[in-house]
Amino acid sequence: MRTLDLIECAEFLKIDRTTLLDIVHRGDILGAKIGRAWVFLEDDVVAYLREQVQAQTQKRIEQIRCGSPETDARVDKAIRKQLSQTDPRRPGRKARPLPRLPELDASAAMAA
């Protein structure tokens, strides 16, 4: 069983340490303050992360199934954008026209 300090736990979750402290004070992640340091069990942090993944995934599924106007509008906009694009190139700078080269004389071409 591995333990994490406050900074390690925040890095593990890819959040700021102040955000982690807010989560701890709400009681969402179990941790203990030993002296001046916070200590977290890796298993508890992983359990919190799994709960968040399941809850957020369920929320997204419900939004799609309910057909909320906000989701429908975003999906409709994305579909229209994909269908309207005829150029397969990625957006960015427009291609420059090819330069005009001077004509070669037949005698100059033979000499070269």
pLDDT, residue 20, reads: 96
Q: What are residue 33's phi and psi, to 5 degrees?
A: -95, 110
Q: What percent of the chain has pLDDT over 70?
A: 83
- Whole domain around residue 37: which residue ranges? 3-72
Structural domain contains residue 48: yes
Short-list 25, 17, 44, CA closest to 33 = 25
For residue 6, the number of C-alpha atoms closer than 13 Å in the C-beta half-sphere is 17
**Burial track 82-95 (b if 16+ CB lie within 10 A, e otherwise):** eeeeeeeeeeeeee
Structural domain contains residue 77: no
Cβ neighbours for 5, distance < 8 A, ≥ 6 positions apart: 37, 38, 39, 40
Structural domain contains residue 85: no
Ranges of the chain with pLDDT below 50: none
State which amino acid sits at residue 7.
Answer: I
pLDDT, residue 9, reads: 96
The total number of structural domains that make up the chain: 1
pLDDT, residue 111, reads: 63
Structural domain contains residue 86: no
